[in-house]
Structure 1
Amino acid sequence: MRARRTFARAAEQLDLFVGVGGDIAARDAQDLMAWPFFSLAKSKRVKPIDFRMGAVSILVEATAEHGMATIWDADVLIWVASQIVEARDGGRPTSRLIAATPHEILAFTGRGTGKAGYERLRAALDRLQSTSIATSIRQCGARRRHRFSWINEWRERLDEDGRALGIEMIVPDWFYEGVLDRALVLTIDPAYFLLTGGLERWLYRIVRKHGGRQKGGWSFDIAHLHLKSGALSPLKRFAFDIREIVRRQPLPGYRLALDHELGRERLTFTPLPVDPFDAAMRRIGMAPVEKCG
């Protein structure tokens, strides 16, 4: 009861924003794509991410009860960003207080909408709410850090039989302001949600962020990628996993390759030509048709 009153008091300061529906482009926040904010493992992680590079500092801390928010949990934030941007571009008011149904979020992110899918969504919301972040990104002054959780608060509305009617959540200022900035959001391929590995999901996001649609592509030193991933695996294992991803070529829209310069291994990525039919299929959440002959 106390938690309900606390949520109600916070919600009183905000207008309720209801999503615009599911048939919209998927958008991701560039800051979340470029830096290590999430666990890449499906197993519970409680060890913090303590990342520093130049003026950028990120500290991500988890609770023992729920563990750190994962890159699969970040799908909820992609849904939120997509809804806010779609509404903003359509001239509709938005808010940090967002209402949704579990079905809307699960369907948009390509998840099952049965009971198990709903339970996993609840667990994801708990991890997003309990994970604490402190970062210098978008703060004035190198010593200033903004501290927040991915979801400040959330609550579930139930019918008399205990069935979920909907979810209301409050996202933090740091995330909301970044999404409202047109320069800090990118569209992503809906096929991203079909990627099953945490590392390949993270790799797609960083490739999309840095590679974009540049004809010449981009490249990263493997050791640098390892640092930016925040992964717990040692560099040797990380490099092995990257080589396996290069062998399989699972990232939608990009061709990956490895080269060696001065004895250092680098990952290169270049955009693939866009097939209009495949692009249309991806926009409606279908994998591209395999072409024969």
Structure 2
Amino acid sequence: MNAPRTRVQRRPVHGVLLLDKPLGLSSNQALQKAKWLLRAEKAGHTGTLDPLATGVLPLCFGAATKFSQLHLDADKTYEATARLGVKTSTGDAEGEVIAGRPVNVNADDLARVEAQFTGPIRQTPPMHSALKKDGKALYEYAREGIEIERAARDVVIYKLEVAAAPALPGQSAIRLTATVSKGTYIRTLGEDIGEALGCGAHLTALRRTATGDFDVSQCVTLEALEAMSEEERLAQLLPVESLVAGHSHVMLGTEDAARFLSGLRRRGEWADAAEVAVFGAEPHAFLGTAHVVSGELIPGRLLNPIEIQQTLLSTEATP
């Protein structure tokens, strides 16, 4: 007879875990695993990575979930490998082969497409994506063999490098390194570059190396996290305010901080700013976000007093 399963005792955990998502797991599966390891009450991620993709996946816990949208909108950097001459139904190695063409590509061709796809471009989102139509993800329609009309969207490829990549005998491949704006589909970029080269292409590997200010060198793997003690796992968490590192800072005294947290605007000699991170001076604690218009500090997303107290206690407990 099997022993009864031990129930995990959840607890308030606040902060950001930079995970190097492994191959084969969905973003939600990776999130749930990390949430279980940390025994966290509340968690969310900052935008999905496909199961076939690896790399930077910021996971938000507790109060940090209030600010996860900031990294949904962040610029991202990817490294990808695309096989030339073969198109698939999904734009990656998971799909069925739907077309094959000969490959005749040289260094000049690669330089041409690199220039062609750098800067503002328009992309049509792929059918195999999580975009929704009438409350249903496009990939669900795709699995049913239904093609939905999609509007092209404007995105920006800030930096792009295209180079020949090692490939199996009889095959050709390219390596893409791209820093892109939100909403950019790297699978679609690979497919479009393949078309511009006259042979078609599909992605065979995809790795996100940066999102916003977060870099893959800062990340921890699930395997490493599993091997740690509970204290070591908690020590991997970045503070909630790491999500607003690029914001300008405002420091409030005790009385103003209390009023700000109740949703009241404060007046001061602050320059206009669209994105402000607000801190209390005593004790030093992150309070939330705001914006400044004509010297008026207008609250945005705020931590509640319990969350602030818990983050202060966890900071004191961290060695």
Q: TM-score band (shorter)? A: under 0.3
TM-score (norm 2): 0.24
1 or 2, which has the higher helix percentage? 1
TM-score (norm 1): 0.25
Greater Rg over alpha carbons, structure: 2
1 or 2, which has the higher strand percentage? 2
